[in-house]
A = this chain, B = another copy of it.
């Protein structure tokens, strides 16, 4: 499926945080997409009109960008192109909670990706996020339940990332066991994955497989980069390197996908 992404070269419109935005852009380019970052309310609808997918990431949200994000997803919904939500840090502040609740009420997302506590919040469970890190009590059981709840509640593909990744569309569930713990020691692996989801979903018809491939790509890239581990700075560089070399052969050989 990565070949499809590289062939179609989808344009991915990102409204994302300023912490990891450069990594998100380079990750999208690495897997074969083209990123465009634009967040002014006066241009987002026009940008969406030429885009193949929209990625919304609330990592450093503010009043100005929240309105732009909503307008962009409204435009994406009208055009029936995929929209992806990364509810960074939801559960941590009323502003994040209200913003996510508003988005989930007013617009539709093709996919929602977060860690367990963020997704628990979306599912309506009383989980408490601590910063942007996943809580450590991730039990496989609750992850499956939460992924299914979010998928059903919002008619979307729900992705919970952590030690293991869970993908549910409400009917099907896939667990992906790629990745390494060291990925948590760099900022942005989650944001990068959300960007990559935009590239895969923007290029591929089969949305569920697109998501599974994107999640697996990111995990494998982490593993490959970790083979030469020397520290977290070069790990980050190595992940982009690995993403830029990934192909369907590597994905099928190294993917640890449990149906």
Contacts and interface: CB of A to CB of B under 8 A. Distances in A.
A113 interface: no
Contact of A131 (B50, B232, B239, B240): B50
A79 interface: no
Contacts of A60: 37-39
| A interface, size bucket | 35 or more
A147 to B, nearest CB: 24
Interface stretch (A12-20, A148-156, A211-219): A12-20
A40 interface: yes
Interface in A1-51: 11, 17-23, 25-26, 29-30, 34-40, 42-43, 46-47, 50
B186 A26 contact: yes
A244 B237 contact: no
A242 B234 CA distance: 10
Interface string A74-89: 0000000000000001
Contact of A187 (B35, B43, B59, B230): B35
A61 interface: yes
A38 B21 CA distance: 15
A187 B26 contact: yes
A133 interface: yes
A92 interface: yes
Interface in A166-207: 185-188
A95 B40 contact: yes
A29 to B, nearest CB: 5
A82 to B, nearest CB: 17
B47 A62 contact: no
Given A22-B22, A26-B187, A237-B237, 10 more contacts: A18-B21, A22-B188, A26-B186, A30-B185, A30-B231, A34-B132, A37-B59, A40-B62, A43-B94, A231-B243
17 contacts: A11-B130, A18-B18, A19-B21, A20-B22, A22-B22, A34-B133, A37-B60, A38-B60, A42-B93, A42-B95, A46-B93, A47-B93, A50-B92, A230-B241, A231-B242, A232-B240, A233-B237
